Structure formats: structure tokens, C-alpha cells
């Protein structure tokens, strides 16, 4: 694993840990503030987990700009796989909701995309070894 990838993984894991921690704190804060009318504090608490996600995106864009063309191609294919598969799965579940399946929160889309991107990255990387 090259230094750019290793640095990205480290930054990604730190950002992911910050996201999980912020998400838990936000969830508790939302529950605590649920008795109050909608106000600025509730909005800030609800949106706080977006800050670590912003760092994840920043670190990923920095990583993409520092890797060689082959790695960029692998990432493009992994992102394409992730986007297409996520679109297909959410569209498919939308049809299932029409026939009575329970509604799915949009918050599940980002984790699905990241999971599929990682799976695509691993699978596509194997083709170029």
C-alpha cells in the first residue's frame, strides 16, 4: 500500500470515528431537545454529523488528486460501481415500498454507497494486480 493510500485510510478512519461519535452525541441531543419547539439549537445538533462527513469528502478528494492515473481509474470504476448499484438498490426498494414494504430512511444511502465503493475498490484492484 503506497503512502497516499495509507494516509487516506488513516484520515478516513479518524473522520469515520468522529462521525460515529458525533452521530451518537447528536442522536442523544435530539432526544433531549425533542420536547422543545424547532429552534436553531435543534437544527445545529441534528446537522452536526455533517462536519466529519465534510472532512471525509475533503480527504477523499485530496487522495484522488495525489494518486497516479491507474489508481484514479480504479477509483473511478469503484465509484461508478457504487453509484450505479446504490441507485439500483434504492430504486428497487422504492418499488417494494409501493407494494407495502416499510419506508426506508434516506440516511441509509450514504453507508450503502461507502460500503459498495469499498467492495468495488477491492474487487477492481484485484483485476490490475
Which pLDDT score, from 0 to 100, does residue 35 have?
83
Q: Which residues have CB under 8 Å from 30's CB, separation 6+?
A: 42, 45, 46
Q: How far apart are CA 94 and CA 86, in angstroms?
A: 12
Which pLDDT score, from 0 to 100, does residue 100 have?
96
DSSP SS3 for 104: coil
Cα-based angle 119, 15, 115 (whole degrees, multiple of 5): 15
Q: How far apart are the first and last CA of the chain?
A: 12
**Strands (DSSP E) along the chain, which ranges?**
none
Q: How many CB atoms lie within 10 A of CB 34?
A: 8
Q: Please write the tens of the pLDDT for every residue from 67-123.
A: 999 999 999 999 999 999 999 999 999 999 999 999 999 989 989 999 999 999 999
User: Looking at 35-39, 44-48, 57-61, which range is the least confident one?
Assistant: 35-39
What rounded mean pLDDT belongs to the chain? 93
pTM (2 d.p.) = 0.79
Which pLDDT score, from 0 to 100, does residue 39 have?
85
Amino acid at each position: 500500500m503506497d503512502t497516499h493510500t495509507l494516509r487516506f485510510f488513516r484520515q478516513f478512519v479518524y473522520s469515520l470515528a468522529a462521525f460515529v461519535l458525533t452521530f451518537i452525541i447528536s442522536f442523544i441531543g435530539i432526544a433531549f431537545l425533542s420536547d422543545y419547539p424547532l429552534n436553531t439549537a435543534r437544527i445545529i445538533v441534528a446537522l452536526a454529523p455533517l462536519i466529519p462527513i465534510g472532512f471525509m469528502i475533503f480527504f477523499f478528494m485530496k487522495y484522488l488528486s495525489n494518486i497516479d492515473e491507474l489508481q484514479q481509474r480504479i477509483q473511478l470504476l469503484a465509484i461508478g460501481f457504487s453509484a450505479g448499484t446504490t441507485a439500483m438498490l434504492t430504486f428497487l426498494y422504492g418499488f417494494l415500498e409501493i407494494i407495502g414494504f416499510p419506508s426506508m430512511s434516506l440516511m441509509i444511502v450514504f453507508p450503502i454507497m461507502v460500503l459498495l465503493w469499498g467492495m468495488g475498490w477491492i474487487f477492481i484492484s484485484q483485476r490490475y494486480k
